[in-house]
Amino acid sequence: MKEVMINSTSLEVRAAIVEDGELVEFMVERAQTRRLVGDVYLGRVNAILPGIQAAFVDIGYEKAGFLHAGDLVPDTDGLDVEGGGVDVEDAPEADRGGGRGGRGGRGGRGGRGGGDRGRRDSRDKPGVQPIEKMLQKGQEVMVQVTKEAISTKGPRLTTQISLPGRHVVYMPNSDYLGISRRIESRQERQRLRQLIARKKPANCAIIARTACEGVEDKQIVSDINYLHKLWQEIKRRAEKAQAPELVHEEVGMVVGMVRDLIAEDIDKIWMDNEKEYRKLVKHLRDVSPDIASRTHLFREKTPIFDKYNIENELEKTLDRKVWLKKGGYLIFDQTEAMVVVDVNTGRFVGKRDQEETILETNLLAAREVPRQLRLRDIGGIIVIDFIDMESEGNKKKVLAELRNHLRKDRSRAKAFAVSDLGLVEVSRKRVRPSLLHFLSEECPYCHGTGKVLSFDTLANKIERQIQRIGQRTRERRIQLRVNTSFAVFLEEQRSAMLDALEKQHRIRIEIQDDPRLHREDFKLVSLQNFRDLVAETG
């Protein structure tokens, strides 16, 4: 059974997907941090960087958007570009770009479809012109956000506009059609191909999503016509806009999520906010009456996330350690470059030989890691350090189990072969910051390292500094200001060190505790004229 639980307040909207009683996905949208993916802007080129074949585009956001040459529609005026009738297999849920480019409006605006969904990396594309030949500084360009701003990076942009509907994805200024590979029936694929070929407007690409399967022709045609009209309206807005300006806002998180989940078997949708419930039901009655009938208002006094034990599960998503059944556990470490997952047997000792115990733990990890990637919304490069196994057959079993569970993910995820060191690399599409980065911020005390200097290390550092002061100055009385907890350590465990320094340099050291100081900070001040001796002596 698959259920969607939606909790709405004035500050945020939270949505959880529960499969067979187990939390597998979680999304949150806050009023002050609205997501940008899918939004279309009329932007202005701020800078062109030929060295990395990219441009920075002002879209009115606090950080300039990043536009790579491979994500830019080339000017095909005067070029012999053949289009039409190309059969393209799309990635699951039919989000894939391609076809020929074209111009749309002033300043080279326009775009071909696909967004960042399912394309090859732009660096793999043959025949891409240098960006300095396609863009000029100050030029206006219509762009769509394909990836949220992450850390210090601004949002990722494309001119390959992609408008997803319930049944199809519409991509302007291209000319081909595609069918979701999840539609396996040859007869159904042929029906959809012929239908779209007849009804597809000129100069656009249409990809049939999985939700098309078994749907009446008129519903699919209605979706195509709606998206075509939407694109015409976006173009009209862009012609009147003054860059940087938003010309199309993607639907909210709840509507977008339900739209993308329609192709899957949703048994129930529960909402605890009556106003939002009525808005969603009204929308669903127009686009998916069958899903509307499965959408319910949660009326109990107990909070919906407490009722289904979601709140407790969410608390665990911020933990480094994830317990497996039978006593094993995983450790998740997120870095700037990648996420590393370490697998450990923990308390699990097994009942047979060691290899069997390790295999069983690794198989449990191969099932849990994909769930955690979905739940924590971890993307990019993930390296899994499974416990070393001797048997090649066992390695294949673990890799097969991992790949099988990754297939359940709505984001594209791929597991590569086990390396010589026993590591498995996984790539997962990342369009927004992970849940950890969204819900938390860098620790102001350790600056995100998770570590502070030990008291012994700090004491040795202070000893070296006092040695410099004793050798380079004629101070006779100095004050050592330290954090209160460290002052206690010095007086209890390092008094002998201080006594030795006083005798060696014939100085008097007075300890002054200061609770306002960071535990790693200290000050050495002259009691004669209150000079900063650390700054003076280096």
Residue range 287-335, pLDDT digits in tens: 778 888 899 999 999 999 999 999 999 989 989 999 998 889 999 999 8
Length of the chain: 538
How many CB atoms are closer than 10 A to CB 51?
5
The pLDDT of residue 191:
94
Show the tokens assigned to 102: 């074209």
Instruction: Say which residues have a Cβ less than 8 Å from residue 443's Cβ, sequence separation at least 6.
Output: 450
Given a cut of 70, whether residue 124 has pLDDT beyond it is no
Dist. CA 144–CA 115, nearest whole Å:
7
Q: What is the CA radius of gyration of the chain?
A: 30
The pLDDT of residue 127:
61
* Spatial contact of 467 and 475, defined as CB atoms under 8 Å apart: no
Given a cut of 60, whether residue 531 has pLDDT beyond it is yes
The pLDDT of residue 102:
34
Place of tokens 């100081």: 517
* Spatial contact of 423 and 140, defined as CB atoms under 8 Å apart: no
Residue 6's DSSP bridge partners are 15, 271
Residue range 396-408, pLDDT digits in tens: 999 999 999 999 8
Candidate from 159-173, 250-264, 358-372, 440-454 with smallest mean pLDDT:
250-264
Residues 98-117 have a mean pLDDT of 36
445-478 b/e (C-beta count within 10 Å ≥ 16 → b): eeeeeeeeeebeebbeebeebbeebbeebebeeb
Query: What is the pTM for the complete model shown?
Result: 0.72
Candidate from 28-42, 97-111, 461-475 with smallest mean pLDDT:
97-111
Alpha-carbon dihedral sign for residues 524, 526, 531, 536 = negative
Question: Torsion angle of alpha carbons 402, 407, 411, 415, nearest 10°?
Answer: 40
Q: Quick one: pLDDT band at residue 106, thresholds 50, 70, 90?
A: very low
Residues 188-195 have a mean pLDDT of 94
The pLDDT of residue 95:
37
Candidate from 3-17, 259-273, 337-351 with smallest mean pLDDT:
259-273
- What domains are defined for the chain? 2-33+254-307 (3.30.420.60), 45-248 (no CATH), 317-439 (no CATH), 455-537 (3.40.1260.20)
Alpha-carbon dihedral sign for residues 445, 450, 455, 458 = negative
User: What spatial distance separates the first Cα and last Cα of the chain, rounded to whole Å?
Assistant: 66
- Phi, psi (deg, nearest 5) at residue 139: -70, 145
Mean residue pLDDT across the chain: 85
> Among the ranges 83-87, 95-99, 366-370, 409-413, which has the highest mean pLDDT value?
366-370
Burial status of residue 516 (CB atoms within 10 A of its CB: 0-12, 13-18, 19 or more): exposed
Q: What is 137-179 written as a DSSP string?
A: TT-EEEEEEEE--BTTB--EEESS--EE-SSEEEEET--EEEE
